[in-house]
Every structure is written in C-alpha cells, then in structure tokens.
Amino acid sequence: MQADNEDYELKQAKDMAAARKRWEALVRDEKVKVLTPSQAGYAIQLSNKTLLDVRPSTERKKAWVKGSTWIPIFEVDNRLDSGTVSRKVTSFVMGGWWSGTPTLSYDSQFLSKVEEKFPKDTDLIVACQKGLRSLAACELLYNAGYRNLFWVQGGLEAAEEEDLVIEGPQPIKFAGIGGVSEFLGWTDQQRVQAAKEGWGYRLLYSARLRLKSGLILFAKVGLFLVADALFLGAQRVGSYIQELRSH
C-alpha cells in the first residue's frame, strides 16, 4: 500500500507540473483573460457576466458570490473502495488533519453540466477558492469550445469585502480553511483578519468554533451512549429469552 501511495503522489506531482505549463500558456496567449476579484465584481455588476463557481461543496456552503452558478469541477470523494480509503489516509497523515482539506475527485460530468446551462458564446468568469482549480476548469472549457473565458486570479480568497457581493455564514476568505488549524485560529486568513480587527475577533471566532465543535462532540458522544445502551439492552433481552428457554 505504501508503494502504491508513493507512486500516486509522484504521478500527481508530475501531472500538476505539466498542467501548470499548459495553464500558463493559456493565460500568456490570452486564450483565458485574467481578472482581479475587484474587476470580476465590476464585470458582474456592469456587464451581467456570469460567475461560475467551481469549488467543492465544503467551500461553497460556507460562502458564495450572490447570483453565481455553482458547478464543482472536483467534489468530495465519499467512496469507500480500497484506493480511495488509502488516499484519504495518506492525505490525513500528510497534513489533512491540520488543514481539514478533504479528498477530492474530478467530476466527469463537469463539462456536460456546464454545457447544459451555458452556450459556447457565454461570457464566463470562472472562480475557485485559490485560483488553481478554476484554471483547470478554464482549460477544459476552452478545449470544449468556450472562447469568452475570464479567470479570477488568486481566487475568491483574494477578494476584499467591497469587491463582490457575498452570501453565506462565513467570510469568503475563510471558506477554504478547516481542520485543527481553523479550530485554533492559526490559519493565515485568520491572522490577517485578526490584524485588521484586533485579537478580540480571533478570540470570538475561536470561541465560536470551539462551541460548535463541542456541540458536535456532545452529539457524537450522545449517539454512542444511546447505541451502547441499545446494545446492552439487546444483550439482556437475549439472556432473558435464553433463561426462559432453559426452563
């Protein structure tokens, strides 16, 4: 299993290096136009361009751009086959426990979902959280015949509050964080926000996370206790039935 994981990681690294070269060429040759988050906001408001959000559900549910269309290019992989479980374990050990980054898999229906909603001449502003997955989406869309593509450089995480109209329970900058680092308030995004608003903000944010985590833990413990009680009850009933039979 370890050898398989190493081969998988090596292949991923090589594929990413090759992909970066292709993406750089797309931008350099202006086949994909580059927008800052601020410019994207102006384009949405003044030109009615569509923002295509290609982030996974774990990020989308935390915050999103008002009026955007959500079609993830990668989604959380919930399969339980040996290969997926192995990748999940590797990801967790290699830092997933700290960052909270889930194991993602490519949605093979991504292109067909986009084509169902948008004709090839649509002006599409493509965005993800940090900018890489949206570049991958731009490459697929360009190869499929879309020619009016705009890429949000730096992703939605680079947006300031005034750049875009944001909806959702969290700031858009926090949509990509998670794990222990978020719980402790030690992510770069939280430190930047704390520097702007003071450490009181960080304490309040961390306290809210701890309360939320505590409630989740309490619920899990409660479910465990209920399951344990049902198991013990079933054992006792079985013993009682056995005694009746023996008499």
Instruction: Write out the catalytic residue numbers.
Output: 128
Residue 41 CA to its chain's centroid (Å): 22
Q: Are 95 and 110 in contact (CB under 8 A)?
A: no
**Residue 164: left (phi > 0), alpha (psi -120 to 50), or beta?**
beta
Specify the 3-state DSSP secondary structure of 179. helix
Terminal alpha carbon distance of the chain: 54
- How many CB atoms are located within 10 Å of the residue 37 CB? 21
Q: Are 126 and 134 in contact (CB under 8 A)?
A: yes
- How large is the angle between the packed helices 132-143 and 2-28, nearest 10 degrees? 70
Sign of CA dihedral 21, 26, 27, 29: positive
